Each structure stands twice: as C-alpha cells, then as structure tokens.
Amino acid sequence: MVRDPYWAFSYWDFSAETWTDIQAKLEADPSLKPTMRIHDLSASRSFDLLVSLETKNWYLHLGIPDHRYVAELGLGGGRSRFHPIVRSNEVETPRDSPSERVDPEWSDRDFEELYRLSGGGFPGLSSPGSHSAPPAL
Amino acid sequence: MKKGSLLLVLHAHLPFVRHPEHEDFLEERWLFEAITETYIPLIDLFDQLTFEGTPFQITMSITPPLASMLSDSLLQERYRRHLGKLIELAEKELVRTQGDSRFHPLAQHYHGRFLRVRDIYCNRYGSNLLQAFKKFQDQGSLEIITSGATHGFLPLMRPLPASVRAQVKVACDHYETLFGRRPRGIWLPECGFYPGDDQILKECGLQYFFVDHHGILHGTPRPKYGVFAPVECPSGVFAFGRDTEGSKQVWSADAGYPGDFWYREFYRDVGHDLDYSYIRPYIHTDGFRLNTGIKYYRITGKTDHKEPYEPERARLKAEEHAGNFLFNRERQVEYLHPRLGRKPVIVSPYDAELFGHWWYEGPDFLGNLIRKIVRYSEVLELTTAPRYLAENPRNQPQMPSYSSWGYKGYAEMWLDGSNDWIYRHLHKASEKMRELALAHPHAEGLMRRALNQMARELLLAESSDWAFIMKRGTAVEYALKRTRGHLLAFLQLEQAVRRETIDEAWLEDLESRDCIFPQLDYRVYV
C-alpha cells in the first residue's frame, strides 16, 4: 500500500509450514537474513532492506516519487543469494511535483506562477487539523 | 457576465452509530449535536434564503451513513427525547440565571434557539431532515452528492478493486432510493483519489468528483489552469481541485475566522461548569460529565480567562468575515480571469459540521456570504459542478495524481502505527467476500441474507472514521470495538455460509443491529 510519494506499507503472514521451512533455512545458513528486495520497475534496479519477519509488517522507504515498484520478501545473503518467499502487488508512488509532460494544446506561458497561485509546493499544509473529526464529546 | 464562480461544498458526514441495545449511548450524541448545531441551522438558513427570494447554489455531500441515520426511526425518536431534555435544561437555566444581566440573556438565547430547532425538526420536517435537503435539491438550489458507502478511504483499498467498486456502487444505489434519481457527483472520502478510480465512478454513472489541489497540480499532463478549472479524466469523469487560499481563511487554527475572540468558545460548556447535582440529569446516564451544547463564553483570548458570550457582537463579526472572504475571492478572480483567459472556478469545500458545531457562527457567516454574492457582487457568482460544466464543456484531458486532503496530503492519517494493523484484516475480508459472492451467484433465503449481512459488516468495518479516531487518540476504545466487532461478525458469518449452518435468530439479531443498506445485494462484490 502506498502511503505517500516516498513510503509504502507492507504486511504478510505465513502458514505454520512456511514458518517452519523459514526457520530451517535460517538455521542451516546463519548468513541468511530476512530481507525485502525492492524492485524499482521504472528504473530497472533493485535494492534490499533488512526486515524482521515476526512484526509481520514493514514500512518501506521506496524513495522516488512517480516510480512503479514491486517487493519480494525472502531470505537474503548478499546480492547473489536470495530465496524469495512471497511477492507483493505492484504499486506506483505519486508525484510530489508537477509532471514534465505538457499538452501543447493546453500549455501556459508561466506554469510556475499558476502552480504558486494554486497553492502548489506545499501539499497537505493547508489541510485542516480538525476536519472529519466527529463532533467532540 | 460575472468573472468567476465560487463552488461551495459542504461535506456532511458521521459514521453509522446506532445502538438499540443501549438506552443512552454516548457516541449517538455525535449525530444529535450535529443535528442541533449544524444540520438544522443550515436547513433554517436555506429556508430563509428561499423565503426571501435569494437564489443560491450550494453543493452538499450527505454520506450514506449520515443519510441512513437521519432517516432512521429509532434515532429520530432518540433525538426528539434528547432535544426534549435539552429544552428542559434551557428552561431551568432561565430560572437559575434570573436577574443576572450577563448570563440571563444567553439562557434566553439558547432556550429560543432550541425551541426553534424543535419546531423545524418535528413540525416543519416530520423528524426526517432528508426531506428538507431533498426539497432544496428539487427546487434547484442544492446539489446533493454522494460519498463512499461507509466513507471508506479508497486509496488504501487499492489492492482490492472490488471493495472500491462496492463503496461507490452501494452509495449511488442508496442515493437513488433516498433522492429519487442517480447522483451526478461524489465527494471521495477524505478527498482520497487513486488514479484509475475514475473508471469505477464512470461505471456507476457519476460525472464529477473533487480532489485536493496537488491532485490536479501533480496530474499528468500539467494543468494549464492550475486548480481554477476542472480536468477531464481518461474515463470522461471530471475532477475539480480544491482552492487553498479560501480553505486556509476558514480552516487555519491560528489565522482562520473561527478563532476570532468574539466567537463562542467551544470548550466551555455548562455540562462541565455547573454544580454536579444540578446538571446530573442532563449529562450521561452513567453520571459522567459531557457537553450539553449550552456554552456561555466567548473565545476572549489565548488564556483560560473567558468573558461572557455576546451573540450580537459575534453576529457582526460573522458578517465582517463574510465580507472579507468575498473581498479576497473577488480580488483572486479579478486577477485570474484575464490571466487565464477564461472564467475561473474557485472550489471551497469544508466539513459541514464546522459550520455551527465547531464554529457556532458558521451558518451566519455562510448566510451573509451567500447574500452578499447574490445581491451585490459584480464579480463572483455561486455555481455547482453541473452548472459550470454546462457553461464550460471543454476541459483539459488529465489524469489527476494520488492525493487526499488529510494530514500531509496522502494516506498517513489512516496508515500509521496506531491503525495499520486493520488493513490486513480488511483486505482479507474483502477477498473472502468476493470469493463467496463468486461461488454463490444465485443464493436464496437464509444464505442470501447471510451473504448480504457479510457485505454490510465489511462495509461498516471499512469506514475511514475508525482509523482516523485510532490515530487521533480520542474515543479509541469505541473505534477498536467497532472495527473488531464488524470483522468478527463477518468471519462468523463466513464460517456459517461455508458450512451452510446459519442460525436464523442470530442472523436476525445482526441484521437488526447493523441495519445499514437494507436493499444491499452482496453480488456487488462480483
């Protein structure tokens, strides 16, 4: 689940059988570590984050807005060794700035100004603190 | 011709709270307070505007849970009882404050007000406020739009599109049974939009929705007019972007109008201030103090020292603030019109409950603003999305970006350490719901009822309110109880359906308790 332009949230659970299997692998090779392998599909690169399996969830710092990602949870021991356990759905982080794409039929001479006039640059700052609260007791 | 349009949106929402199993249920007061302080003052205002011949154009989302509660006979009866007690307290206050020149006029103010509320609620609209809102819609002044079926935050349902579809479709069908036609627009819960959701809106016959400013500003491609014109999504549905300038003036805790020292202080209430034995019959039946709605002080300043409230001074302030708001919007439009080369639309959405409940003078502000625009403004006019689109049918094609109007602009309010545990359960339940709906395309009798009830429990568990409350940290116990309770009922029903052992009495109990959407068809998840 995408939280914002930089972060996603992941959760998982395993059957007892899978847990046992994982334990066995970890005991057999102490250099293996529970790892989230993040594939940045927009940049064709991947990187690893160490996670704790027992928490059953992890906030993932994906880092780049407007990129598509998929994550694999598994046991890793360096770049070359990775035993995947489960794969996530694909997500896309939102932009935190205007698109580079301009429709020639719909372009403005000074987008910077319109961006500023529209409140751009500070997403969320204008959001009310109390909104959507049910009436206080 | 006017140079710009103001599109005012009041988003009215409360979670579905209805507990027939308790005589006096604390959280039901959310609805009662909002009826007395917001919904009836708004209806009173709309009636006055209609009576005096002031044509107005307001957009209002009435969410399905709120609409269900307003038309529920048990809650109507409980509200009348609640209001009766409040009037009784106001009468006692007339006696208690006799001879006190500072507080007696205030006691009279509340007494008169509550009697008027009762007259409007009971006599004018027969206890069903939806009739009132429908009347304004039918006369062409109010554009009522829908929202998520239980105000579920759609971007966090993204892995399960069936849940997004159910939230939208159930809401649209419910709207039709209440208002006699399909809704044209939707207020996405928490303004939460994820690219592609527009396709689901299209399937349900919706024509437009709203996003926060960065939804449009960061959409693809760049928006030529910023947030001052709608964009047309690939599905053909239109998105209107929220204007931040107008929002800040009303919302901002420091600089916003509602913090003015002449306005009524929300946090001083006779329920907390007066002698316990005196106030005891008017607080919770279990004996703990709570807000009654009778508040005698004004904000006064930033310290705890509070002076008595002066309604007339506050009324003048509300008029002044309405003038200031209009002045600023007019200057904004006068700059934008030649700059854009087209008529800008300024979208100003607010939680309806801000007006009257949090900001006591809010309905006065709104009334003054509407009258000033309609009668005197040569620059600005009020509009609704359908009116604006009829006048300006050609709009830029764009896919808005993922966004919400919550804290930091995305999902963090509903996804953090305080509430993230709920999603694995909600998603799993949604998956199971779809699986069972596919497995039973023609269920009948008890089986059908059980599947429908599963859908109700899932929808109720999905309300964004529970995650919001867990994060905010007040009334957390209740939010936990509701989330767990609906999920548990869902899982028990699932087991019963799988084993085909459905206990009718138990099912009937669930149906009567969680009775939202009586016409729901579980196949919405297929």
DSSP letter, residue A54: T
Cβ neighbour number for residue B390 with a 10 Å cutoff: 10
Q: Is residue B355 a contact partner of residue B362, using CB atoms and an 8 Å limit?
A: yes
Rounded CA-CA distance A42/A64 in Å is 10
Q: Of B479, B437, B433, B478, whose CA–CA distance to B458 is shortest? A: B433
- End-to-end CA gap in chain A: 33
B220:A2 CB<8 A: no
What per-residue confidence (pLDDT) applies to B79?
A: 98
Q: Is the peptide bond before B221 cis (omega within 30 degrees of 0)?
A: yes
Give the up-direction half-sphere exposure of residue B371: CA atoms within 13 A in the CB hemisphere: 19
* B170 contacts: CB under 8 Å, gap ≥ 6: B64, B149, B459, B517, B520, B524
Q: What is the mean pLDDT of chain B?
A: 97
CA of A87 vs chain B CAs: smallest distance (Å): 13
B233–chain A nearest CA distance, Å: 14
Chain B partners of A131 at a C-beta cutoff of 8 Å? Answer: 251, 350-351, 354, 405
Query: Which fold is adopted by the domain B417-525?
Result: immunoglobulin/albumin-binding domain-like (1.20.1430)
- For residue B59, the surrounding DSSP H or E stretch is strand B58-62
Q: Which of B223, B401, B420 sits opposite A9 (nearest CB)?
A: B420
pLDDT confidence of residue B378: 96
Nearest CB partner across the interface for B226, out of A118, A124, A129: A118
Q: A79-93, B49-63, B110-124, B379-393: which range is least confident on average?
A: A79-93
Active-site positions of B read 190, 351
pLDDT band with cut points at 50, 70 and 90 for residue A118: very high
Measure CB to CB from residue A135 to each of B224, B353, B464 and give the nearest one.
B353
B410–chain A nearest CA distance, Å: 5
pLDDT of B254 reads 73
B343 falls in which pLDDT band (50, 70, 90)? very high
Q: Of the given ranges (B344-348, B467-471, B473-477), which has the lowest mean pLDDT?
A: B473-477
* A137 has a pLDDT exceeding 50: no
φ, ψ for residue A57 (rounded to 5)?
Answer: -160, 160
Interval B196-250: pLDDT, tens: 999 999 999 999 999 999 999 999 999 999 999 999 999 999 999 999 988 888 8
Residue B100: the pLDDT is: 97
Q: What angle do CA B276, B281, B282 make, to 5 degrees?
A: 90
Return the SS3 of B286: coil
CA distance A3 to chain B (A): 5
A94/B410 Cβ within 8 A = yes
* pLDDT for position A136: 36
CB atoms B222 and A94 under 8 Å = no
Q: What is the pLDDT of residue A122?
A: 53
The top-level CATH class assigned to B4-70+130-260+321-408 is alpha beta
Q: Any residues with CB less than 8 A from the CB of A125 and at least 6 apart, and which?
A: none
A107 CA: distance to closest CA in chain B (Å) = 5
Q: What's the pLDDT at A80?
A: 82
Query: ipTM exceeding 0.85?
Result: yes
In chain A, the residue whose alpha carbon lies closest to the alpha carbon of B293 is A137
- Report which of B173, B22, B69 is spatially closest to residue B515, judged by C-alpha positions: B69
Instruction: Pick A4's closest partner by Cβ from B158, B354, B411.
Output: B411
Q: How confident is the model at residue A78 (pLDDT cuts 50, 70, 90)?
A: confident
Residue B469 has pLDDT above 60, yes or no: yes
**Nearest Cβ partner of A117 from B195, B226, B408?**
B226
Q: What is the pLDDT of residue B6?
A: 98
- B120: pLDDT strictly greater than 70: yes
**Cβ of B84: how many Cβ atoms within 10 Å?**
12
Residue B252: pLDDT band (50, 70, 90) is: confident
Q: Decide if B221 and A115 are in contact by the 8 Å CB cutoff.
A: no
Q: Which helix (H) or strand (E) holds A73?
A: strand A68-76
The pair of structure tokens assigned to B210 is 């709203």
Q: How far apart are CA B262 and CA B255, in angstroms?
A: 14
* Chain B interface test: which of A69, A96, A106, A107 (most B C-beta within 10 Å): A106
Q: Which residue has the higher pLDDT, A129 or B39?
A: B39
Q: Which residues of chain B are within 8 Å of residue A118 when distances are taken between CB atoms? A: 213, 216-217, 226-228, 241, 243-244
Q: What are A82's two structure tokens?
A: 């990775």
Task: Flag if B251 and A96 touch (Cβ within 8 Å).
Answer: no
Q: What is the pLDDT of residue B39?
A: 98
pLDDT at A129: 37
Q: Is the dihedral of CA B190, B196, B201, B204 positive or negative?
A: negative
Question: CATH says A7-92 is which class?
Answer: mainly beta
The pLDDT of residue A77: 87
**What single DSSP character describes residue A61?**
E
The H-assigned helical ranges of B28-160 are 29-34, 40-51, 64-70, 73-96, 104-118, 129-138
Using CB atoms within 10 Å of the CB of residue B320, give its burial: 0 to 12 exposed, 13 to 18 middle, 19+ buried.
middle
- Residues from chain A that touch B197, judged by Cβ atoms under 8 A, are none
Pick among B334, B401, B474 to test the A interface (most A CBs inside 10 A): B401
The Cα A52–Cα B301 span in angstroms is 50
CB contact under 8 A, B159 and A1: yes
CB-CB under 8 Å, B408 with A126: no
Residue the block writes with tokens 């689901």: B200
Domain segments of chain B: what residues?
4-70+130-260+321-408, 417-525
Average pLDDT estimate for B500-509: 97
Average pLDDT over residues B111-139: 98
Given a contact cutoff of 8 angstroms between Cβ atoms, the answer to whether B393 and B72 are in contact is: no
Q: What is the pLDDT of residue B492?
A: 98
CA distance B136 to B383: 15
Question: For residue B407, which residues of chain A lie inside 8 Å, CB to CB?
Answer: 124, 127
Give tens-digit pLDDT for B425-437: 999 999 999 999 9
Check whether B344 has a pLDDT greater than 80.
Answer: yes
> If phi over 0 gives left and psi between -120 and 50 gives alpha, with beta otherwise, what is residue A56?
left
Model pLDDT for residues B60-90, shown as the tens digit of each residue: 999 999 999 999 999 999 999 999 999 999 9
- Which of chain A's residues have a Cβ under 8 Å away from the Cβ of B213? 118-120, 123, 126
Strand locations in B327-426 (E)? 345-351, 380-382, 396-397
Task: Give B141-206 as a DSSP string.
Answer: SEEEEEE-TT-B-GGGGTT-HHHHHHHHHHHHHHHHHHHSS--SEEE-GGG-B-TTHHHHHHHTT-
Q: What is the pLDDT of residue B142?
A: 98
In percent, how much of chain B has pLDDT > 70? 100
Sequence-ordered alpha helix ranges (H) in B353-475: 362-376, 385-391, 422-439, 445-461, 464-472
Least confident of A42-46, B21-25, B187-191: B21-25
Q: Which residue of A has its CA nearest to B403?
A: A94
How wide is the angle at C-alpha B344 spanned by C-alphas B338 and B349, nearest 5°? Answer: 150
CA distance B405 to chain A (A): 6
pTM: 0.96
Which residues sit opposite B403 in a β-bridge? B193
Q: Please state, in angstroms and rounded to a whole number, the distance separating the CA atoms of residues A73 and A14.
A: 11
Asked if B465 lies within 8 A of A57 by C-beta distance, the reply is: no
Average pLDDT over residues B152-164: 96
Most A CBs within 10 A among B9, B216, B218, hence the mutation to make, goes to B218
Residue B526 pLDDT > 60: yes
CA A27 from chain center: how many Å?
30
- Decide: helix, strand or coil at residue A63: coil
Enumerate the residues of chain B whose CB falls inside 8 A of the CB of residue A57.
Answer: 420-421, 424
* Spatial separation of the C-alpha atoms in residues B167 and B483, rounded to whole Å: 17
Cα separation of B15 and B36, whole Å? 17
Q: For residue A2, what are the β-bridge partners?
A: A8
